[in-house]
Structure 1
Amino acid sequence: MSLKTFRGGIHPPEHKEPTRDVPIERVPTPTSVVIHLTQAIGAQNQPLIKVGDRVLKGQKIGDVQACPAAAVHASITGIVKKIEPAPQSNLKDGMAVFIEADGTDETAYMSPLDAFACSREEAVKRLRDAGIVGMGGASFPTDVKLAPPADKPVDTIIANGAECEPYLTIDYRTMIESPADVVEGLAIAAHIVGAKKAYIAIESNKADALPVIERQFAGHSHGILMGTIIAATKYPEGGEKMLIKAVTGREVPSHGLPADIGVIVQNVGTLKAIKEAFIDGKPLIERGFTVSGGACKTPKNLYAPIGTVVADLIPGVIQLSDDVRKVIFGGPMMGVAVASLQTPVAKGTSGILFFTAAESKQYEERQCIRCGRCADACAAWLMPMLLNAALLSDDLNRADAIGLVDCFECGACSYVCPARIPLAQRFKLGKDLLRNQRAKEARHGK
């Protein structure tokens, strides 16, 4: 049988065996957490509490009257000890709330809300109040994603269970262990946007999750036409645009969004959080993630409060070897190497990888030979070697014209480049420079 997929892509070693069959382990409530006030793409939140306040698990502690934005909540019950900058996984310090647990477990959850009986406005507000964001890594506010403009009707919603990043298995374990939550969340999301069809898409290396998921359709689909799709095991199959192409055959236009072609994609972890927000009244205060890598002696899948500091998990929950050379938040392809174990778990943390020296090789960049391997691998149909040349010439306008903004920094081009050029990192920096240039032009009326 021919598997659905997209043009381009690569096949890096999967490294999923250490955690694939390891059930998710709930981390004991930490003695303290560090919760960054802003954990989503959009406006910066302001604190709703002050030093010395006692806060309850689930209580909103940061928000802003702006869009897009996502509220943040206390993940443990305790006392606010300080509010000051702290390291983030994006390598920038951000304002954070330091909470010390008081040994109790009082909660301040919301009342349950029937997503199928309330208005669309009430449902979207619930997503906003719960602080739900995309949990595949992008951290885009879910209330905005599930409220597309009226002139962009959505007919299809896709649950993204591809999990194409090497090492990571938390999405797979979520589908295996909480299939009813995933299907219920998918039905709620489909109802909110008015989609008549919903699919759960996974890679072929996770095909055993299909019957587990499909058994939940009868009791949790709420009349939505649901199906499952097996896509080829290939990186970056889990990329939003790639998965849409594989499942529907549609292509998101350049500079466009999935809603432009009537599709919305949501990570399976996000769908579980959506179910919890409506059925249980629980804000996004915990998340699952994979812990792995050659320097991790106890690879596993964990479920921890948002704000749990990595150092506090060692050695009680995570045991490491002496050969730790790099710590990555996320997967090895699109994740970020952090400088400190004081970095806390955030809403977008899908994995924490501990790499040895052998896994952290650094290479000397050489001259591009225009071999074209990067273009063959590019899932976005770009010409990375031309983008690289434009950026090396400081020609941001040319880079923009040939597709810089359409790059989603999957790293496939860097992976195959024989000259070891850090293409994805260069494109990320280039996009930042381009945004700054466009902002400057706008201020000066150009």
Structure 2
Amino acid sequence: MNLKTFRGGIHPPENKEWTRSMPIERIPTPKSVVIHLTQAIGAQNQPLVKVGDRVVKGQMIGDVQACPAATVHASITGIVKKIEPAPQSNLKDGMAVFIEADGTDETAYMPPLDAFVCSREEAIKRLRDAGVVGMGGASFPTDVKLAPPADKPIDTIIANGSECEPYLNIDYRTMIESPADVVEGLAIAAHIVGATRAVVAIEANKADAVPVIEHEFQQHAHGMHMETVLVATKYPEGGEKMLMKAVTGREVPSKGLPFDIGVICQNVGTLKAIKEAFADGKPLIERGFTVSGGACKTPKNLYAPIGTVIADLIPDVIQMSDDVRKVIFGGPMMGITVPSLQTPVAKGTSGILFFTAAESKQFEERQCIRCGRCADACPAQLMPMLINAALLSDDLNRADAIGLVDCFECGACSYVCPARIPLTQRFKLGKDLLRNQRAKEARHGK
């Protein structure tokens, strides 16, 4: 079969067999949660509650009148014990609400809303009020994503079921276990943006999910034409821009956005959350994620309240071996190593990996030999070796001209580099420096 794909990419070991066949397991309600007030790209939320308040599951506890932003809600019912900074999976402390459960399960969901009857403005407001964000890791507010500029019409919406990161299976299990929710969420999203084509893109190593999804088209597509597309098993096939290229043949322009080519991509977990926000009035207060890695004795797929602290899952839910050396939030390619098990689950947490020393090897950086492997692997068709050279010369303008900002930090170049140069890490730092330089220039009117 001629599978759709993109130029470049790599084939790291998948390591998905450990949790592929394991149904998603809902954890018992934790005794407490730590919910960060800001969990999406955009403006910083402010608390809507104070210490001593009783909050109910689903109650909004963080908001700000700015765009983009995503509201935050209580994921358990209980008492607010503290509001103070706490560790986040982005390695920065952020203001968080500490809630202690009171043993009840009272909820404060919104009334159901028919997405196919209400106005577009009402639909967008529902997504914002529900705090729905991209659950593939980016955490961009969904209400903003589904409200592109009026001069950027959307004709295609893609459900991203690729899940190309090694170890992770939560998106696959979501498609297998909740296909009706995924399809209905896709229909709602397509209706909101006015798309005429809806595609569920699935990697070939998850081909058994295709008939499961297609079975729901007739009953839950709400008259929308839907189709499934098998894409090649390759990393980073699930990258938004890569998947759009593979499915539609269109390429997002340099420094452009997907709506520039009339396409929107949504993670399958996000689509499930969209359906729940309308059909059940349920805010995004829980999410699924994969727990795996060589140092995890109990690899599984879990469903937990936002704010669940990882340390509280050990050892009753998760058991680790003695040789754990690294804990990663997300996948091994684009995830972030966290320094503490006190880090809570966030809206963008797709996986938590426990790695052994063998899985956490560190290498000494050597001189670039200009072999070009990084360029061959780069899915964005950049020249990582030239960007690296510009950054080493402190020439941020040249790095920008070569394509620094177009790098989406997939890690493919670092993976294939025989000199073990930490290219992706260097590019992340370079983009921070570039943003600071541009801000400084703007302040001085340059």
TM-score surpassing 0.5?
yes
One-letter code of the match for 1:268?
V
| 1:279 Cα offset (Å) | 0.2
What does residue 322 of structure 1 align with?
322
* Partner amino acid, structure 2, of 1:227: E
Return the alpha-carbon distance in structure 1 between the equivalents of residues 156 and 174 of structure 2: 22
Taking the aligned partners of 1:202 and 1:425, their CA distance within structure 2 comes to 29
Say whether 1:286 aligns with 2:286.
yes
Structure-2 residue corresponding to 1:245: 245
Residue 124 of structure 1 pairs with residue 141 of structure 2: no
Deviations 1:154-182 (CA, angstroms, capped at 9, x unpaired) = 00000000000000000000000000000
> Could you tell me which residue of structure 2 aligns to residue 384 of structure 1?
384
1:268 and 1:424 mapped to 2: Cα distance? 27
Structure 1 residue 257, shift from structure 2 partner: 0.6
Aligned residue number for residue 427 of structure 1 = 427
TM superposition shift of 1:224: 1.1
How far apart, in 2, do the equivalents of 1:444 and 1:146 lie? 35
Shift of residue 183, structure 1, vs aligned partner: 0.1
- SS class of match (2:185): helix
Secondary structure at the counterpart of residue 100 of structure 2 = strand
Identity %: 89
Amino acid at match of 2:50: K
Q: Deviations over 1:291-349 (max 9, x none)?
A: 00000000000000000000000000000100000000000000000000000000000
Residue 222 of structure 1 pairs with residue 222 of structure 2: yes
Q: C-alpha distance in 2, partners of 1:310/1:384?
A: 36
Letter in 1 for 2:81: K
State the superposition RMSD in angstroms. 0.3
Shift of residue 141, structure 1, vs aligned partner: 0.3
Correspondences of 1:45-64 after superposition (within 5 Å): 45-64=45-64
Q: What code does the residue aligned with 1:43 have?
A: A
Taking the aligned partners of 1:377 and 1:121, their CA distance within structure 2 comes to 42
2:180 partner SS: helix
Q: Name the residue aligned to 1:148.
A: 148
Amino acid at match of 1:130: A
Determine the C-alpha separation between the residues in 2 that align with 1:99 and 1:12: 40
Matched, 1:38 2:45: no
SS at match of 2:18: helix
Q: Which amino acid aligns with 1:129?
A: D
Q: Structure 2: 5+ residue runs without aligned partners? A: none
Gaps of 5+ in 1: none
After superposition, the C-alpha distances for 1:184-209 in whole angstroms (9 at most, x for unaligned) are 00000000000011000010000000
Q: How many residues align?
A: 446
Aligned AA (1:400): D
SS of the equivalent of 2:19 reads: helix
Once the two structures are superposed, what CA deviation does each residue of 1:42-77 show, in whole Å capped at 9, x if it has no partner?
000000000000000000000000000000000000
Q: Write the distance in 2 (CA, Å) between the matches of 1:442 and 1:145.
A: 27
Q: In 2, Cα distance between the equivalents of 1:106 and 1:289?
A: 24
Cα distance in 1 for residues equivalent to 2:279 and 2:39: 23
Counterpart for residue 6 of structure 1 = 6
Q: Deviation of residue 124 (structure 1)?
A: 0.2
Report the CA distance between 1:88 and its aligned residue: 0.2
Distance 2:305 2:444 in 1: 45
The TM-score with structure 1 as length reference comes to 1.00
Q: Map of 1:367-406 to 2, 5 A cutoff?
A: 367-406=367-406
- Match for residue 104 of structure 2? 104
1:192 paired residue number:
192
Q: Does 1:163 align with 2:174?
A: no
* TM superposition shift of 1:96: 0.2
Matches within 5 A, 1:17-36: 17-36=17-36
Partner of 2:174: 174
Deviations 1:63-110 (A, max 9, x none): 000000000000000000000000000000000000000000000000
Query: Following superposition of structure 1 onto structure 2, how do residues 209-358 of structure 1 map, counting pairs within 5 Å?
Result: 209-358=209-358
Q: Structure 2 length as normaliser, TM-score? A: 1.00
Q: 1:223, CA displacement in angstroms?
A: 1.3
Counterparts of 2:333 and 2:45, CA distance in 1: 29
3-state SS of paired residue (1:18):
coil
SS in 1 for 2:318: coil
